[in-house]
Chain A
Amino acid sequence: EIVMTQSPATLSVSPGERATLSCRASQSVSSNLAWYQQKPGQAPRLLIYGASTRATGIPARFSGSGSGTEFTLTISSLQSEDFAVYYCQQYNNWPKTFGPGTKVDIK
């Protein structure tokens, strides 16, 4: 099983600032990596797939990069609606494993 790790566990950011979230896979997942956003009481929402392709309707301030084992999600200028938990997920191998999440909260 591929183990996904995320850092930091919590990121405190002021509105308008840049946020950089990291995700690491225990072995290569190529570019088969997705990012999801989850707000309290809501279902996860797909942000990024293929490590860097934004899903339909996702604002351009969200960008993804990386391949192999190291990935990054960047939110260029945090808006109030972006404070949430972010999960990465590899879909290269079974089982399709998620990282433990990074909580982005207001500084």
Chain B
Amino acid sequence: EVQLVESGGGLVKPGGSLRLSCAASGFTFSSYSMNWVRQAPGKGLEWVSSISSSSSYIYYADSVKGRFTISRDNAKNSLYLQMNSLRAEDTAVYYCARAKSIAVAGTRVYYFDYWGQGTLVTVSS
């Protein structure tokens, strides 16, 4: 059974830092791209960042570029999100999500097939 368990959320002051972790089990972690998606209280879903299976390709939403860093440790089956210079608008539940790769018309595309339960990050003074 695929399991994704996030941790590391909490209350942090504006300008502060936090590191989120996602522990994966039930699948070959090193074979999958992984993602962070967030959801502000009462709002919709916002993709934050993606990392390929070998960390060769990394993408960020413009809203977090230069402040957040995604990484992974395939030996530990873990995904991370280092969040610096946090702002009130970063307050959200942060989900890690596995990316399922399929070939479409000669290119590979990725959708999110499994999600963790999320960890809440609150940025407030």
Contacts and interface: CB of A to CB of B under 8 A. Distances in A.
Same complex for A and B? Answer yes
Given A96-B47, A98-B47, A99-B44, A46 B95 contact: no
Interface stretch (B9-17, B84-92, B107-115): B107-115
Contacts of A94: 59
Contacts, number: 61
Contact of A89 (B45, B50, B95, B102): B45
A43 B61 contact: no
A87 B118 contact: no
A55 B113 contact: yes
B116 A98 contact: no
A49 B111 CA distance: 7
Which size class do A's interface residues fall under? 20 to 34
A74 to B, nearest CB: 19
B104 interface: yes
A31 B115 contact: no
Given A44-B95, A50-B102, A98 B112 contact: no
A30 B103 CA distance: 13
A64 interface: no
Contact of A43 (B50, B111, B118): B118
Given A43-B116, A50-B102, A92 B109 contact: yes
A89 B117 CA distance: 19
Interface in B19-72: 37, 44-47, 50, 59, 61-62
A28 interface: no
Contact of B104 (A30, A89, A97): A30
Interface of A: 30-32, 34, 36, 38, 42-46, 49-50, 55, 87, 89, 91-92, 94-101
